[in-house]
Amino acid sequence: MNEATAISSAANSPRAEKSKVGIIGLGFVGLPLAMAFVKKGFTVVGVDLDPSKINAINEGKSYIQDIADGVLDAAGESGRWSVSTEYTALLGSDAIVICLPTPLSASHGPDLSYLTDACHRLYPLLQPGQLVIVESSTYPGTTREVVKPLLEKGGLRAGEDLYIAYSPERIDPGNRNASLLSIPKVVSGVTAQCLAHVQQLYEQLFDKVVAVSSTEAAETTKLLENSYRFINIAFINEFTEICEKLSLNVWEVIEAASSKPYGFSPFYPGPGIGGHCIPIDPLYLQWKAEQFGASSQFIKLAQQLNDALPASIVNRLEKLLPADRPLAGARIFVYGITYKKDIGDARESAALAIVHELLGRGAIVIYHDPCAPSVRLNDRTWMHSVELTEEELEQADCVLIGTDHSVMPADFIASHSRLIFDTRYAFKQLASSKARIVRLGDNTNTAAQ
């Protein structure tokens, strides 16, 4: 560990000119990164095992909200962008970036199978002088202890004729205020030479590159960032329940606290955590800590609180229904099913967990989400978005706002609904509407209007 403390300018230093970059995994992380490389003048080849993604890209159809179809068209027209389901397309790349999922296993530990599968496919194709960067979120030690031995199987040696780096992805899907390249990029290498190579490449792409001394430090940086969010989201939702009991508007309290110029970073109430990072990364950290006889009580408690939130939201919704309308048999219309606004990702979504809870308690559930036409409920069942119509809203005993996409027609929803349970505080301007609007964290205004 900690070998990469200095950047050498030895003969095998990285190439400065624009080069060819391969991206493995063209999902929420890989596709935007690929487009950023193309825009900067690199030649980029993307590899994904999902033929439907490759076909969509070849037809100029983006499946990621942050990437407009026009961006894919422009990339195609540049002549420097191609995609394939075959790893052999990566031959001749100067750098290869791995952007693959790192989910949880059945026992809630790390599942590195996507990463190891890619390494097995990749090592026979590696050529001397190539740089391989892992971007997937993972536990400290993965790059050095898991990725490096697999990539070296073909005979190349890290730091000598192969460069292996780790750089955690910090993309914030759906956030139009934080462009990918303006987010400082943490980089690391398994040797000083590996660090020099990744630094050289990413300095051509990102506005700011932050080098750390080891791949373990970079891996842990990402886990710290997401554990911090995991814990604070649990805390603010617990704090919200306290404010509700005290008949305080938690949003007002958070806004006032946010006026403090130092020492306070606001977190906001909501239906719970979601996505492929926040619910998973802290458990990777916990798993690794446990290998060393350590453990985070904060992560344990936050996990308990976060896991309990969907049921707690449904309990609150149940209390809002008229006395003669039990939850079993009630018709609940969910607006927004993805884990956050303006993206199509419903993985680990809190709104989806709420749907499961509602269905389990006998409610009739339908949903509308402009970003997610269908979502998988379990291995066999899919649920499909219905149209957002007056009739659907009028028939619903309650409209639950799970995700407040920017295109949400709040006036329309408020005009045709009887009861709205707003878990996102998205209806704050509409207190005069006919619908009874109940905002999570604000029970100062819950009487029928």
DSSP character string of 20-83: EEEEE--STTHHHHHHHHHHTT-EEEEE-S-HHHHHHHHTT---STTS-HHHHHHHHHHT-EEE
Residue nearest ligand NAD, CB atom distance: 27
φ, ψ of residue 234 in degrees (nearest 5): -60, -45
Asked if 28 touches ligand NAD (CB under 6 A), the answer is yes
Residue from 4, 96, 211, 277 touching ligand NAD (CB under 6 A): that is 277
Asked if 73 touches ligand NAD (CB under 6 A), the answer is no
Name, in order, each residue with C-beta under 8 angstroms of 79's C-beta and a sequence gap of 6 or more: none
- Would you say 90 or 250 has its CB closer to ligand NAD? 90
Asked if 221 touches ligand NAD (CB under 6 A), the answer is no
Q: Is 277 a catalytic residue?
A: yes
Residue from 4, 33, 47, 363 touching ligand NAD (CB under 6 A): that is 47
Asked if 396 touches ligand NAD (CB under 6 A), the answer is no
Asked if 254 touches ligand NAD (CB under 6 A), the answer is no
Provide the 8-state DSSP code for 322.
Answer: -
Name residue 44's beta-bridge partners: 21, 81
Q: Looking at 23-31, 183-191, 283-291, 298-306, which segment touches ligand NAD (CB under 6 A)?
A: 23-31
- Report how far residue 71's alpha carbon sits from residue 76's, in angstroms, rounded to the nearest whole number: 9
Interface of this chain with ligand NAD, residues 168 to 187, rule: CB under 6 A: 169, 171, 173
CB of 50 to ligand NAD, least distance (A): 4
Q: Which of 381, 384, 348, 342 is nearest to 366 (CA)?
A: 384
Asked if 129 touches ligand NAD (CB under 6 A), the answer is no
Asked if 22 touches ligand NAD (CB under 6 A), the answer is no
The amino acid present at 202, given as its one-letter code, is Y
Q: Looking at 159-167, 200-208, 271-279, 400-408, which segment touches ligand NAD (CB under 6 A)?
A: 271-279
Distances (CA, A) of 165 to 158, 291, 301: 10, 24, 33
- Would you say 341 or 439 has its CB closer to ligand NAD? 341
Contact 17, 162 (CB under 8 A): no
- Would you say 137 or 312 has its CB closer to ligand NAD? 137
CB of 4 to ligand NAD, least distance (A): 22
Distances (CA, A) of 187 to 8, 28, 46, 167: 16, 20, 21, 5
Interface of this chain with ligand NAD, residues 74 to 103, rule: CB under 6 A: 99-102
Token pair in block for residue 427: 């209806």
Contact 123, 150 (CB under 8 A): yes
119, 277, 371, 398: which one is catalytic? 277
Asked if 276 touches ligand NAD (CB under 6 A), the answer is yes
Q: Which of 377, 365, 366 is nearest to 329 (CA)?
A: 365
Total count of residues recorded for the chain: 449
The amino acid present at 386, given as its one-letter code, is V
Name residue 442's beta-bridge partners: 249, 439
Residue from 20, 39, 40, 49 touching ligand NAD (CB under 6 A): that is 49
Asked if 46 touches ligand NAD (CB under 6 A), the answer is no
Q: Which residues bind ligand NAD (CB under 6 A)?
A: 24-30, 47-50, 53, 99-102, 114, 117-118, 135-137, 169, 171, 173, 275-277
Catalytic sites, residue numbers: 277
